[in-house]
Every structure is written in C-alpha cells, then in structure tokens.
Amino acid sequence: MLEIKDLVVSFNRSPVLNGIDLSISPGDSLAIIGESGAGKSTLGLSIIGLVEGEVKGRIQLGQRDLLTLSEDEMRSLRGKEIGMVFQNVEDALNPLQEISDQVTEAMTVHGFKADASNRSLRLLEAVGLDRETADKFPHQMSGGEKQRALIAMALANDPQVLILDEPTASLDALTKSDILDLLRSAVAGKMALVITHDIATAAKLCNKIAVLYAGKVVETGRTEDLLSSPRHPYTRGLIRSYPNMTTTKDLQGIPGRMAHGVAGCPFHRRCTQKIEICTQQEPKLLPQKGRMIACHRGGIVPLLELDGVNISFEARRVLSDVSLTLYEGETLAVVGESGSGKTTLARAVIGLYQPDSGGITLEEKAVTKRDLDFYKTVQMIYQNPKESLSHRMNVFSLVKEPLDVQRLGSAEEKALRVKRALGEVELPADDDFLGRYPHQLSGGEAQRVAIARAMVLEPKLLIADEPTSALDASVQAKILRLLMDLQEKRGLSILFITHDLALARKVSDRLAVLHRGKIVEEGPTSAVISYPRHEYTRVLLEHASNLGDDRNSGWSDENVLQIDRRDAILSA
C-alpha cells in the first residue's frame, strides 16, 4: 500500500504540490491527469525521492515513510522496489551504452550480478526487443523501441511500485497502442502511478484517476465514472478540450491560465460557477457519491431540474412526466420531430405555460413565480429572429430593453453594457449599426442581436428554441460557434431545442429524445448517438443529415464509382 499524506513540495518556498492525499493499493493503477505545470511530474519524482525542492508530509510504503529514509536507503529502493518509466524524450537513455548494458545495470547496481546480462536479454525480449536490438545504441533505435527499453529497465527488479511519467507522449497512434498493451500487462498486480496529460492513456491503463490542478487534487474517482460524468468543472474542462473519438461535441477549452498560489480554491479564477466562498477558502477533498471532490459547490451544480412535468392542452397531453437535469456550463439538447412537445417544454421553463403538475427547480430553488430575478437568470432566443425583435425598435433600444426592465444602472452604464454585449456576439457597436431597425439586418445579424439582447443580463441559462433553423448553414455555424464560446467563457447553460440530430450531436453534452411528449431516451450525446436504445432514436438517426449516399456504405460506393470511371478511361 502506497499512501501519500499531506504532501507539500516547494521550490524556493513557493509550493508546487500543496497538500496531496492519495493512496494506491496493490493492483491499483492511478492516473494523475492535469495540464502542464500542475505538478504531475513533481509528484512522481517525490515518490521516488528525486525531486529537488523541499518536501514535507508523508509517503508511506508499507511500514516505511519514504521521506524519512536516508539518501542511501532511498537509493537502494529506487529501481528495486520503486521503478520509474520516463517519457521517451531526446536523451532518456545514455547515448554511450548499449541498451542491454543499460538494462543490466539496473540489476547490477542492486547487487544482482549473477546472470544479469542474460536476464536483461530476456527482459528486453519480453518487452518486444530482439537480440539484435538489444545490442544497439539508443541513437539507432526508434522512439517506440526506446520506450520499450525504458520499460524493460523499470521492470528489471520487478518493483512493487511502478511510476510511469508520460509513457506514451510523442508516440504515434499505432506504437502508442502497442506500448499501452505492454504497459497494461506490466502494471498488473503492482501499485502503479501513471502521470499523463493524455486522457486516453489514463482511460486504457488505469482503474482510478486523480485530477491535479495547481498542486491540488480536485477530483478522484473510478476511471469510467470520472470520464463519463466529470463532477469538478476542471475535470469537465479537461475532457472537453481533449480530442477523442468518443465525444461528438466540438472541442472547448478552459478560460484563463493556471496559476499557483491562488488564495481560496485554486481553480476559482477560471471557474464559471464560483461563489464568494470560493475566493476566500480552500475547499477540502471530500467524499461525494463514490468520488472525492474538492469544490465548495460540491462539483458542477445542477442549474435547471424538471421533475415529472405534465402539460395538457384541453384533452391532449403535450408533455407527460418529463424529468430533465441541466448542469451549469452544459448544453442539453432536446431533440424530436415537430409536435413532439419540444417548444412546449421550452415555454414551460421560461414561464409561458404553466405545468399541470410537476416541479421546475432553478439553482436548487423551486420556481414558483417568474419575477425579475428569474429573467435575470433565464433568457430565451427564438427560431425566427426577425419576428422575435420588435420592428419598431432599433438595435440599441432592443438590446437595452432588458436593462430598462430590470432597472439596471445609469444611462451611460446601460450604453456600455449594450456595446459590450454586441461586442460579445461579434457585431459592430457604432452609431450606424445601433440605429438600424430589424428590417435592415440580415438573418444572421438579427439572431446575433437577439442573442445580445439575451446575454446583456448575463443569464445563467439560455433557452434556444431552434435558434438557427431559419438561417443558412454557414451563418448557422457561426451562431453556434458563438454560443459555444459564450459557454466556454461564462459557463452558460444552454437548453437547446432542435429537430436536427446532426446539429445536436456537435453542440450538446447530453441529449434527450422527446417523442409524443415523453422523454424516451436521455444520456451523454456520444452514447445516445453511438448506442441508441430506443427505436425512435434509431429512426431519427437514420434520417439525420448525412453526406454519403448510404449511411453504411457511402464511402465504399464512392470508391466503386471511381474505380469504374478509371476503368472506363483506361479502356478508352
């Protein structure tokens, strides 16, 4: 059992790791993920006793506290009980020694001299390097081969603790996959710590993940849980910005930059759901629903909850028993054909319809009345922007109107906020544009004005009811990109109502399929798209926009066509 307790590592008195608590049991493989500079490598090096800064706390391996051991005792542990695989960078191997000699050395320095060179050859063979390669020098080997040699070296004395520092960085996809297979068998039964910024490596190699941010662990949990439903805003940001074949939403980053030594929660400057306490007090890593999370708000907060909402128009049930949760900074797409009740759902949330039964909760408070405060938090944009803008008002008064209603600020402040809002939606804020009337705007401009009007109050939730279906595709792409940017910057939650599944796939984190007023399927967008469970979802998928001739064989048909054409040209 490897236990790290309250580990603090500082360089020149500024802490790089600040109170780390982690434990790894035999058979466990723990990934440490996070951006560069989070302190990942420092953590690995402090376990093996090679960190140069000042180290405080406790690192307990069995009965021993590694931090109290002398340099000599520590040296005898290194490579024998604690093995470390470094990233295959330029010079991770001694350029003047043959590979087999370097592996042999790993044994001989611990006194295992007998048969060491034969054993080193066997080890190299086990990691996939033949006799010929074993006699090579590092400069004669490929990146993958060098990485294998580094692994063999770390495994030489069959250590109980294995630390892998970016073991797959700078490898191409196929080599990476081979190395991952090798590493998976290498870490089996050991206590493994995998330091990586590559989430896919963490997913393949580890059963647990700890997310490190500015020297603090902000979330830990089992790999599948943590990756499928991240609870800390930083974890979600990391996953959103990681290109992979699983998620379908466009990449989004995390606003701002990481800084060490921030008062309060280390993440608060980049967090979109911070409250006052976040800037003052450091959150503790506390257990929550099978995870450990360090967040004053208990992780990403549910912004909007619908619980068993029913709405009927006369005898017709339009929504029946609709329950949904929309989290802060997330896009929930509600997809369904016309008449499925999508728009009714949107209007029920904004307060245009009253549910017959069921509750709507906003920021963990039941919504009983729609007052000014409610509309400061929730705003809506509509399908047809020109109709949603009063044709008697110019751009300036249109965007300013919500401020007037809310009685926010003086005239100058209002003008400033209007200009800022227009800037955010990438519209000009000159007098000419401010004086225009809706009929003088293009469709895309009008929808931007509508978004600016919604955003001028800086709401938490934006309900977008088919916001782009009246626009052509290139304008639509820009408007959606704009919404995603606002989400990245502000943590805006979006309830996205659409009939277009292909569109929903690119913009939403989660997807709810509405059919005849009922939610028939709900889950992470990628899961719903890849493994639809409900028959209706499958039908929707089959009819979603597709650029190939046929959904399954469009590509190969295209090939056949080209080959035919080529044959025709050749025979002519």
Partner 1 sequence: MNASRPPHGNFINYLLALVAIFSLNFILPRMMPGDPLHAIYGDEALVAMTPQMEAYLTEKFALNQPWSSQFTAYASGLLQGDLGYSYYYKDQVSTVIMGALPWTLLLAGLALIIATILGTALGIESGYRRGRPLDRGLIASLMFLSGFPDFFVGILLLLIFGVCLGVAPLSGATTPYSGATGLAYALDVAHHLILPLSALVLVQLGGIYLLTRNTMVSVLKERFIMTARAKGCSDSRIRYEHAGRNSLLPVVTATGMRLPQIITGALFIEIVFSYPGVGSLLSSSLDARDYPLIQGILLLVTVAVLTANLGVDLLYRRLDPRVRYAH
Selected range binding partner 1 among 19-27, 60-68, 101-109, 334-342, rule: CB under 8 A: 101-109
Residue with smaller CB distance to partner 1, 89 or 366 = 89
Full strand arrangement of the beta sheet holding 302-313: 316-327, 302-313, 357-362, 365-366
Selected range binding partner 1 among 58-66, 102-110, 204-212, 328-336, rule: CB under 8 A: 102-110
User: Going by DSSP bridges, is the β-strand pair 518-524/510-515 parallel, antiparallel, or unpaired?
Assistant: antiparallel
Report, in Å, the least distance between residue 217 CB and partner 1.
Answer: 24
Report, in Å, the least distance between residue 156 CB and partner 1.
Answer: 8
* 451-510: contacts with partner 1 (CB under 8 A): none
Report, in Å, the least distance between residue 104 CB and partner 1.
Answer: 11
Report, in Å, the least distance between residue 78 CB and partner 1.
Answer: 4
Residue with smaller CB distance to partner 1, 105 or 307 = 105
Q: Is 193 in the site for partner 1 (CB under 8 A)?
A: no
Q: Is 96 in the site for partner 1 (CB under 8 A)?
A: yes
* 19-48: contacts with partner 1 (CB under 8 A): 48
Q: Is 135 in the site for partner 1 (CB under 8 A)?
A: no
* DSSP letter, residue 78: B
* 147-166: contacts with partner 1 (CB under 8 A): 150, 153-154, 156
CA 546-551-552 angle, to 5 degrees, is 150
> Rounded to 10 degrees, what is the CA torsion of 463, 466, 470, 472?
100
Selected range binding partner 1 among 6-14, 137-145, 239-247, 292-300, rule: CB under 8 A: 137-145
DSSP of 465-531:
ESTTTTS-HHHHHHHHHHHHHHHHHH--EEEEEES-HHHHHHH-SEEEEEETTEEEEEEEHHHHHHS
The footprint of partner 1 on this chain (CB under 8 A) covers a number of residues equal to 31
Report, in Å, the least distance between residue 58 CB and partner 1.
Answer: 21
Where in 351-403 does DSSP place strands (E)? Answer: 357-362, 365-366, 378-381
Handedness of CA 480, 482, 483, 489 (dihedral sign): positive
Report, in Å, the least distance between residue 133 CB and partner 1.
Answer: 14
CA distances from 79 to 11, 319, 559 (A): 25, 64, 54
**Cβ atoms within 10 Å of 571's Cβ, excluding its own:** 6
Q: Is 179 in the site for partner 1 (CB under 8 A)?
A: no
User: Going by DSSP bridges, is the β-strand pair 461-465/493-498 parallel, antiparallel, or unpaired?
Assistant: parallel
Report, in Å, the least distance between residue 108 CB and partner 1.
Answer: 10
Report, in Å, the least distance between residue 149 CB and partner 1.
Answer: 10
φ, ψ of residue 192 to 5 degrees: the values are -120, 140
Alpha-carbon gap, residue 328 to 303, rounded angstroms? 5
Report, in Å, the least distance between residue 402 CB and partner 1.
Answer: 58
Contacts for 94 with CB less than 8 Å, ≥ 6 apart: 102, 138
Residue with smaller CB distance to partner 1, 24 or 214 = 24
Residue with smaller CB distance to partner 1, 149 or 495 = 149
| The pair of three-digit structure tokens given for residue 483, joined into one six-digit string | 């919404």
Q: Is 95 in the site for partner 1 (CB under 8 A)?
A: yes
User: Going by DSSP bridges, is the β-strand pair 29-33/14-24 parallel, antiparallel, or unpaired?
Assistant: unpaired
* 71-90: contacts with partner 1 (CB under 8 A): 75-80, 83-84, 86, 89-90
Selected range binding partner 1 among 21-29, 134-142, 215-223, 420-428, rule: CB under 8 A: 134-142
Residue with tokens 């499958």: 538
User: Going by DSSP bridges, is the β-strand pair 161-165/286-288 parallel, antiparallel, or unpaired?
Assistant: unpaired
Report, in Å, the least distance between residue 382 CB and partner 1.
Answer: 58
Alpha-carbon gap, residue 59 to 171, rounded angstroms? 32
Residue 91 one-letter amino acid: D
**Binder of partner 1 out of 14, 25, 68, 94 (CB under 8 A):** 94
* 532-561: contacts with partner 1 (CB under 8 A): none
Chain residues that interact with partner 1, rule: CB under 8 A: 48, 50, 75-80, 83-84, 86, 89-96, 98, 105-106, 109-110, 137, 139-140, 150, 153-154, 156
